[in-house]
Structure formats: structure tokens, C-alpha cells
Structure 1
Amino acid sequence: MGGTCVLMDPMSFVLKPLRWLSLISQYQATTSGGPNFAYKLCTEALLSHDDLELDLSSWSLAFVGSETVRKDTLVAFSEAAARYRFNKNALYPCYGLAEASLFVSGGFYSNDTTPHEHPEKFKTPEQVSCGKPANGIELIIVDPLTRQLCPPREVGEVWLSGSSISEGYFNKPKLNEQVFSAQLEDLQSESKFLRTGDYGYLSEGELYVVGRLKDMMIINGKNVYPEDIESCIDICPHQRTGLQGTSAFSCDIESDEKLIVVQEVGKNTQTTSIEKIKSDIKECIVGSFGVCPHEILIIKGRGLPRTSSGKIQRSKAKTMYLNGHFHSRQTVE
């Protein structure tokens, strides 16, 4: 009985991602995990070192959550960590939120399993399953406008019901009525549901999370999700060494919703290549989504706002854009 829990300051990880893997190796941890971007940072760090003394063979549950999980990230990390005895079958994409006492669904990932392409889009990053709901959780996908159930593989809002769902936020009765007491329009279920604000779909009983309801963009009549734009740029065939963080969001410009992309580049990027980078990004977005970005801004590395754990703050980046903190003709020196 009993066990050992090792805590790590998020900023220590951001400054040196390999510290996380070193602690797993040192303590022979069995369970640990983080967001998609954490595995991406570790992959980059592993590939830049050849003399690491790591043993990740004890790591049997490597959960991946908190943000959209990408196939390319999981595959790249598995390959980079394999030399340190990491078992790719330990990867465990999952979905949860505080209002549901955290865990909602999850399942072990297999590289042999073909992730789904997004049912609403063409040539977008493949979706990774977040597994089946935990026991005691009722998970349904609902059209947020009609409040009717969506059929399998149709994108809608994720609604939850169950004993682990919170009764509401402290001293916020009006918000609680909207968020925690949702019911289907046709009363197909007498249950009251938590509206998660997340977009997703079900296929063969497994959950695929697409993005946040409030983040969805409608560009020229097409539903576009910022996570998909950012991931597309990250895996774009034209991607060149030196690209760093990306933030995509929409703004109302001249009464139309327009797509804005802010792209960080490394300090060694030649100023003469900035227009080429913009052109490549535009080609990727147009080719994958059929929409054209209104503006692509190239800024210095670490110029985007981030949380203490290193996650890019998209809404804050949008505010900075609207306040003129980014400049379309900014050079990188």
C-alpha cells in the first residue's frame, strides 16, 4: 500500500523539458503525463542530445490531455524516446475538466490504430481518440443551437452527466443554470447535463475532441478551428527550421470574420526569408482548409503570451493584436 508522488514546478519544465524525463527515470515512475505541447518540447530536446542517461522503461501510463492531442506528436515522441526504453503503448490520450472532478474519458493509444480525419474538413490533421467515457459518466454530443443529439461522427458540443459532475460554481446561480442544468430540447433524456464548451464527436463510442466552442471561427461560411490551423502549420511540408510557436484566431474586420496568424521564428532567421515563410504558411492554410488568412504576422521567438507552464494563450494573443502589439512588417534580427 502507499506510493510516492514527485511534484515539479511547471517553469522548471519549460526552461528545461528534459528535467521531467530525468525525474521519471530517477524515480522509476510508473505514471506521469502532460499536455500535447509538453511531449512536443521533450521530442525536440531528445533529438538535440545524444548522451542522455535515461531509463523510461518503468513509465507504463503516459497520459496526454489538457489540449487537443495530435498523432504526429505521439508518433514523434515514441520514436525519439524509444532508445531510452519508452514503451509506445504507454501513451494514454484522455479528456477531462475540473467541473467533472477531472477525468472523463481515456484510452491507450496504438500507432497501429489509424486516427480519424475530421468529419467536417479535408486534409486537416488527423484526430486522435480520447477513449471511451469512464464508468458512471454519460457523454453525449449535442447541437448547441437546437439542443438535439448529434448522430455519430457529427461535430457538436460535449455534454456530461454523472455522479462526479460538480453541482456548480460557488455563488454563481445564473451561470450554474446555464452550464450545469442543460437539457435536451426533445427531452430524450431527463438528465441535466454539464455543457463543457468543447466541440467533439463520437465514433464507435470513443470521443474525439476538436476544440473549444468559443474559439471556433467561421471564415467565409466554413467552420475552422484554431487548433487545426496551428497544427497544420506545424506539420506543413513547407515548414522550415526556425519556426516556433503559432497562434491563430479570428477578428471582426470590416464586418467580416477574418483569420489572423501570428508566427514566431528563431533569432537566426534571415529577414529576407520572412516573405517566403508567410507565403508557405498561406499555401498550407489555403490548401488544407480552403480559406485565406487576412494577415500573417512574423515575430521574434517567445513573443507570444504563454502560461506559467508554457502553453500559448490564444485569447491574450488576440487582445495584443487588437491593441497593436504585433506589427505585420516586423523584421527578425
Structure 2
Amino acid sequence: DAFCPFGMNKHVIYPTYGLAEHTVFVCSGGKQQLTVSKKDLEVDGVVKEVDDANDKSDAEGGTTVLMGCGYPSNQKVDVRIVDAETMQEVDNGNVGEIWVRSASKAAGYYNKPDETTEDFHAKISKAADDDDGEEGDAEYLKTGDLGFMYKEELFICGRIKDLIIVGGRNYYPQDIEETAQEAVDALRPGCTAAFTVDPVDSKGEEVAFIAELRDVPKGKDAE
């Protein structure tokens, strides 16, 4: 809507979901837009749709709008929503980690056998009353993303692996990026990234930060 007045067709951009470990693509062509209770989603991990203006005003903790990212089954991609702790598939309407399986799943991480086993060969644990053992033998890719399925469409609502742990302290990359942008005027807003890299010694994970600089006026050197 922001660019339509300038001649952009609103149909040229649509939600898509993918990751490098699954050869970039999982699904696309998102169609549904959901307004849900923010508290139920973030605190309880439950998707509670809010339909009308009265429900929105009465919703405790406010509401948030989520856009679907497409239909994995149309792309022959098997997507499951799984409890990251129990490794069991969650019920419909609940948030969990997105697990993906198809011929596009990568073989693993280069020279990282432990991480490859953990992330690329995950198996869904079966509940005690589930006699179907076939599904539990399938190996999925653990994406680290949080989401849910609604009417067969995938919705993304968070990221498990965002947390950065250094020296026993927890940091969110968004906080690091925002702090840096507020402290240094030369950084272009929204064009920074904080993440972890493999350590050069045995002290644990290290933080890396990259940023794009604002355009420097001609004839003026950047500090």
C-alpha cells in the first residue's frame, strides 16, 4: 500500500519463507492475514484469532497482525510444528518450532558433524498412545523458527535461535543493533546485524557486528 501511489503493483511482492539449509525455499504466495491475541501468542504459545473491533478492544495485552507465508504442501514440502523440548508434534492452533523435510533439505553443515546430526536428522517423538511408528523414522530439519499452521498455511511468529549467549549472559541481537544505531549517527538505520561466530580460542561464542554506513556528503570523510 505504501508504494502503490508511486506505480508499484501490489501483487509483485508477497510473503515467502525459506532458509539456506533447505536450499533457500520452503513456500511462498501467502494469502491469509490473521489478527490474533498478542498475549495468548507470546505468553501461552496459542493462536487465538480476533475477528472484530469489539474483540480487538477487549483482547488483554492487545493484538498483533500476522501474514501467512504460503502453503508448503503445494510445494511438496513436509512441514511440522514441534515442541522443541518434548520433540513431539503440537496440536493445531499451537506455536512450535518449524521442522522441514523434502528433497531440497541440505546434507548438513560443513565440518560440523555434531550440529549436522542435531539439526538435520531430527526425529519426531511419538506420544505414548500413538502406535504409528512410521512418522517417527523420518528425519527433519530443525529450522530454529517459531510458527504455526492455520488452514494449511504456514505463519512465522518468532525465532528460537536469536538469543546470543556470551560469558553466561543473554543478549538479543535486536538490542545490540538498536543500541549501536542510537550511539553512532553514521550507521544507516535498519542496516545492521549482530550475530555469533565460531570462537578463535576456547572462550566460547564471540559476537560479530556488521553495519552499513549512511551516505557521506561529497568532500567529507567518514569518521
- TM-score between both structures, scaled by the size of structure 2: 0.62
Structure 2 residue 97 is matched with structure 1 residue 213: no
CA separation of 1:143/1:299 partners in 2, compared to 1, >3 Å: closer, same or farther?
A: same
Q: How does 1:10-21 map to 2 (within 5 A)?
A: none
CA separation of 1:136/1:114 partners in 2, compared to 1, >3 Å: closer, same or farther?
A: closer
Deviations 1:93-118 (A, max 9, x none): 00001111111011145xxx543335
SS of the equivalent of 1:92 reads: coil
**Shift, 1:125, TM fit:** 3.9
The residue aligned with 2:5 is: 83
**Counterpart residue type for residue 94 of structure 1:** T
> 2: distance between equivalents of 1:170 and 1:82?
44
CA separation of 1:155/1:116 partners in 2, compared to 1, >3 Å: closer, same or farther?
A: same
From 23, 26, 46, give the equivalent of 1:101.
23
Is residue 155–residue 201 contact of structure 1 (8 Å, CA) maintained in 2? yes
The residue aligned with 2:122 is: 182
CA separation of 1:300/1:311 partners in 2, compared to 1, >3 Å: closer, same or farther?
A: closer
User: Which contiguous aligned blocks of 4+ residues in structure 1 show a shift greater than 4 angstroms?
Assistant: 318-321
> 2: distance between equivalents of 1:142 and 1:96?
18
Q: Give the helix-richer structure, 1 or 2.
A: 1
SS of the equivalent of 1:141 reads: strand
The residue aligned with 2:99 is: 159
Task: Name the count of aligned residue pairs.
Answer: 165
CA separation of 1:302/1:132 partners in 2, compared to 1, >3 Å: closer, same or farther?
A: farther
CA separation of 1:202/1:216 partners in 2, compared to 1, >3 Å: closer, same or farther?
A: farther
From 56, 63, 67, give the equivalent of 1:128.
67
> 1: distance between equivalents of 2:106 and 2:78?
14
SS of the equivalent of 1:174 reads: helix
> 2: distance between equivalents of 1:178 and 1:104?
20
The residue aligned with 1:262 is: 179
> 1: distance between equivalents of 2:96 and 2:12?
29
Q: How does 1:194-273 map to 2 (within 5 A)?
A: 194-215=141-162, 247-248=174-175, 262=179, 264=181
Is residue 91–residue 108 contact of structure 1 (8 Å, CA) maintained in 2? no
Is residue 96–residue 104 contact of structure 1 (8 Å, CA) maintained in 2? yes
From 183, 192, 199, give the equivalent of 1:312.
192
**Shift, 1:299, TM fit:** 2.4
CA separation of 1:125/1:188 partners in 2, compared to 1, >3 Å: closer, same or farther?
A: farther
Q: In structure 2, list runs of 5 or more residues that go unmatched.
A: 43-60, 127-132, 165-171, 197-205, 210-223
> 2: distance between equivalents of 1:203 and 1:181?
26
State the identity %: 27
- TM-score between both structures, scaled by the size of structure 1: 0.43
> 1: distance between equivalents of 2:195 and 2:63?
23
Q: In structure 1, list runs of 5 or more residues that go unmatched.
A: 1-77, 218-225, 228-246, 250-259, 265-297, 322-333
